[in-house]
Amino acid sequence: MAHNTETNLTANQTILVLGGSGKTGRRIVERLQERHIPVRIGSRTAEPPFNWEDASTWGDALEGVTSVYISFFPDIAVPGAPETIAAFTAQALDLGIRRLVLLSGRGEEEAQRAEQMLQNSGADWTIVRCSWFMQNFSESLFLEPILAGEVALPVGDIPEPFVDAEDIADVAVAALTEDGHVGQLYELTGPRMLTFEQAIAEIGQASGRDLRFKSVSVEAFAQEMTEQGNPADIVDFLGYLFGEVLDGRNAHLSDGVERALDRKPRDFAEFTRWTASTGIWGGSRV
């Protein structure tokens, strides 16, 4: 089990957080700033800017940092992601940056290829392999349908052990700042499994709203996503997730949060109670 005692790793450290304004990156940045650890945000709008699609931006973003949190955009499971991450890792190592923490996904072939490339690179790596984020219901993909009162998804009764982005951030920060996490692959899930229909029902109960769930075909879902203006690569990726990855392969719990942090992961019910109290889902807390 990893130790939670902080060492002098943070004394002369500057951490680059790629995707620093995203679901996990933003939370990691906040935690590091609270501990007065120098942070550089890696994004297209940061200074210096970082763009996964433009390798000429990588060097300036890496200059002077000692460790990196790697979150790939739009997702580590898209075609070409492993090769891009491998090239980035090689550049980081050339600059003497050894500690790399990779955000990965469960049951995704491209994600596992990226993991293997990092593991074979010679870096001091930690892999944070995650199930579906709870925050997909509150910060992005599913928020608009929830506000509209009906969530239509191409998924049936396959359960998913949704994980809280707060837990992901805690594990990533530990891996970036403490001893005992190098060479660890942490597979993160929540403490119980829920189908998407059950998750929507719990959100409805927490927010005091009558929410409906409807199972639709992948084709109908893709058409709806396209009509809403989502880019083709995102639509294709979501089709892959719902059409292939959500086939039961991830319908089991893992102990990554407990191994990394020596505590239980946050439950979906706690997430829904807190999120409902913010008013983001409309309705009233019950």
- Tell me: the pLDDT tens digits for 221-277? 999 889 988 888 888 888 888 988 899 999 999 999 999 999 999 999 999 999 999
Helix, coil or strand: residue 265: coil
pLDDT score at 243: 85
Q: pLDDT tens digits for 88-145?
A: 999 999 999 999 999 999 999 899 999 999 999 999 999 999 999 999 999 988 999 9
pLDDT score at 283: 65
Separation in Å, CA 13 to CA 29, 40, 80: 14, 11, 31
CA–CA dist 44, 251 (Å, integer): 35
CA–CA dist 277, 120 (Å, integer): 45
Is residue 162 over pLDDT 70?
A: yes
- Non-local (6+) Cβ contacts of 168 within 8 A are 24, 27, 103, 128, 130, 133, 188
pTM score, whole prediction: 0.93
Q: Is 107 within a domain?
A: yes
Cβ(102)–Cβ(128) below 8 Å = yes
Is residue 21 over pLDDT 50?
A: yes
Q: What is the CATH number of the domain that holds 62?
A: 3.40.50.720
Helix, coil or strand: residue 70: strand
pLDDT score at 9: 56
Q: Is 172 within a domain?
A: yes
For residues 43-62, average pLDDT: 97
Q: Is 278 within a domain?
A: no
Cβ(117)–Cβ(88) below 8 Å = no
Cβ(68)–Cβ(59) below 8 Å = no
Cβ(3)–Cβ(178) below 8 Å = yes
Cβ(52)–Cβ(7) below 8 Å = no
Q: Is 63 within a domain?
A: yes
pLDDT score at 10: 57
> Which residue range(s) make up the domain with 92?
10-132+165-189+252-265
pLDDT score at 149: 96
Mean pLDDT of the chain: 93
Q: Is 84 within a domain?
A: yes
Cβ(246)–Cβ(180) below 8 Å = no
Q: Is 157 within a domain?
A: no
Label the pairing between strands 39-42 and 99-105: unpaired
Q: Is 18 within a domain?
A: yes
Q: Is 204 within a domain?
A: no
pLDDT score at 3: 44
Total number of domains constituting the chain: 1
Q: Which tokens is 30 given?
A: 């906040």
Helix 218-227, helix 232-240: angle, nearest 10: 160
In the structure, what pLDDT confidence band is assigned to residue 6 with cuts at 50, 70 and 90?
A: very low
Is residue 42 over pLDDT 80?
A: yes
CA–CA dist 118, 125 (Å, integer): 7
